[in-house]
Amino acid sequence: MAERRVTVGWAEGLHARPASIFVRAATAAGMPVTIAKPGGVPVNAASMLAVLGLGAKSGEEIVLSSDADGAEPALDRLARLVAEGLEELPETV
């Protein structure tokens, strides 16, 4: 299983607009991706309600993971999106 640990870079954390950006990017990855707080229960990263339910705040660490083939580049892009608090998914890492 591929995994990335990343610190939330959005000032507002993974709430409302940033969560929406993240969920769209996770859906666009085209593979199952989960998100969790360290030691927490992983939830579907493509679910807005699940992502909002994490309550991840700015500066907190989250864990992105996937067991799909070719998950490494997708997780790298999602990790960069979260860490840098970007407005859209980067095309390349």
SS3 77: helix
Residue 85 to residues 11, 22, 31, 52, 62, Cα–Cα distance (Å): 8, 10, 22, 16, 13
| DSSP for residue 29 | T
User: Which one of 2, 9, 15, 27 is the catalytic residue?
Assistant: 15
The answer to whether 15 is a known catalytic residue is yes
Q: Which residues are catalytic?
A: 15
